[in-house]
A and B are shown apart, each in its own frame.
Chain A
Amino acid sequence: MAKIISIHSFRGGTGKSNMAANVATLLAAGGRRIGVVDTDIQSPGIHVLFGMTRETVTRSLNDYLWGRCEIGKAAYDVTSRLDEGLAGRVFLIPSSSNPSDIARVMHDGYDVGLLNQGIRDLMRELELDELIIDTHPGLNEETLLSIAVCEALAIVMRPDQQDYEGTSVAVSVARKLSVPRMVLVVNNTPPVFDFAEVKERVEKTYECEVAAVLPHSEELMVLASQGIFALRYPDHPVTALYRQVAACLTA
């Protein structure tokens, strides 16, 4: 029984893809077979964290959605790029970062139903334990689908006035879609805040569990863009927080 986990944020730039990549890797380190689908087709990026480039992505989710290939053909086993010794596996289904592909998606859209079918096929074909969807920010049709199909949803937000209202909309919408398990993750929290208080206030405001409050640090941002933080710094306190998020989502 595979479980679909969606990692969402109402606005971009909250660290959603980093969260998805780290959670996926930590789950794979625990011996699980994990799929990661980058449904942020308008601004793809998670493939970079898994060590892939525009050149090495020869088939993408776009090819599947446009009927050019089976979904399984767009899946890359990135485990060896991460760590040969990883107990489980990570399969990435990247989105195309080719500008003309992105332009086409923005202009024509795609069949959301096909995305759903693709997700099902992937889980069966790759015998996944968990499938993580890195969603597109906002609440467009494909994002709503990834919320409607998931068993666990993490909404990543920053402690920032610009994020509060949108997060509230996302939480309300997810409730209406009866997501069985929903958590909030507060990312990029400035060190001046009392993290325990942030957790308490956010939980109270949204009436939703906060899986973790992660700090903002420039050092962290530099390190985070270089790959999977949790792999490079397994003993770092932030890795422990990623682990906490992973545990919350698979509980």
Chain B
Amino acid sequence: MTTAAASILVVDDDPINCMLLTRDLERQGHRVATAEDGVRALEALRAEPFDLVLLDVLMPELDGYETLAQIEGDETLRRVPVIMVSSLEDIESVVRCIEMGAADYLAKPFDPVLLRARINGCLTKKRLHDLELEYIEQVGYVVEAARAVENASFAPESLDPVAERDDALGQLARVFGRMAREVNAREQALKREVQELRIEIDEERAAAQVAEITDTDYFQDLQRRADELRSHSER
């Protein structure tokens, strides 16, 4: 199984090993960065995203176990798979590393075919995992959009990254976004229509009603006396 080019961090205090691994990986089309101990490895991992770490067990400063422990203890860094690298006789420590969360191990000296197979296996798993995480995150956008529609705070562009997907979730986001836009447009139109207060009065009928009242003797008497009635109150 072949995988696309990945960004790999090689951590080894032995420059020859580093060089050999780098050459081999670059031949496979990967981008490679190196670090000579655990401290620098962690710095590199925090500085830029990597798809995979090849980590030597025995190193000065911060050894492979401690480095692995720190990677696995970090919410973000733990997403990067780590392949431990050690000599064959270190098999016990390799087991320990795998128990601590390492994805796999490679024995020195490297068998190029095995190296490739393990790396590709790891990268494939990582990509699937990343896709899964992205899927979950994008499902979250759709859920959030539904909540926003309820609160009348929906911004249609919030679904754009999900709508670009060519799977069922993408279709859901496109349909959802379109429906929300249509409902919103209809509401706006309704609002514009309602906001225009129209006062329609049948003038003729109103005039007839006024006449019916004002033509009475009672009203005419009242009309004559209105001023007198009011001035009365001013005493």
A residues apposed to B, CB below 8 Å: 1-4, 116, 120, 123, 139, 141, 144-145, 148-151, 159, 161, 164-165, 168-169, 172-173, 176-178, 180, 190, 192-194, 197-198, 201-202, 205
Contacts and interface: CB of A to CB of B under 8 A. Distances in A.
Interface residues on B, range: 20 to 34
A169 to B, nearest CB: 5
A151 B230 contact: yes
A212 B79 CA distance: 63
Contact of A144 (B200, B201, B206, B222): B222
Contacts of A190: 194
Given A172-B206, A180-B230, A197 B195 contact: yes
Contacts of B234: 1
Nearest to A186: B197
Nearest to B194: A192
B128 interface: no
A120 B230 CA distance: 10
Nearest to B191: A192
Contact of A201 (B197, B205, B223, B229): B197
Contacts of B202: 165
Contacts of A176: 210, 214, 219, 223
Task: Give the dominant DSSP class at B's interface.
Answer: helix
B100 interface: no
B195 A192 contact: yes
B210 A159 contact: no
Given A172-B210, A173-B210, A164 B199 contact: yes
B194, B229, B232: residue with the most chain A Cβ atoms closer than 10 Å: B229
B225 interface: yes
Interface of B: 191, 194-195, 197, 199-202, 205-207, 209-210, 213-214, 218-219, 222-223, 225-227, 229-230, 232-234
Contact of A173 (B191, B194, B214): B214
B152 to A, nearest CB: 13
Contacts of B209: 165, 169
A144 B210 contact: no
A197 B210 CA distance: 28
A144 B213 contact: yes
A202 B199 contact: yes
A5 to B, nearest CB: 11
Given A4-B233, A123-B233, A165-B201, A194 B210 contact: no
A168 B233 contact: no
A202 B197 CA distance: 9
B218 A144 contact: yes
Given A120-B232, A173-B213, A176-B214, A205 B199 contact: yes
Nearest to A4: B233
Contact of B230 (A149, A168, A198): A149
Contacts of A168: 201, 206
A177 B233 contact: no
A152 to B, nearest CB: 11
A190 B214 CA distance: 34
B206 A120 contact: no
A204 to B, nearest CB: 9
Contact of B222 (A3, A145, A161): A145
A118 B7 CA distance: 98
Contact of A165 (B194, B205, B232): B205
Given A144-B213, A190-B194, A116 B233 contact: no
A43 to B, nearest CB: 21
Contact of A177 (B194, B199, B200, B226): B226
A249 to B, nearest CB: 15
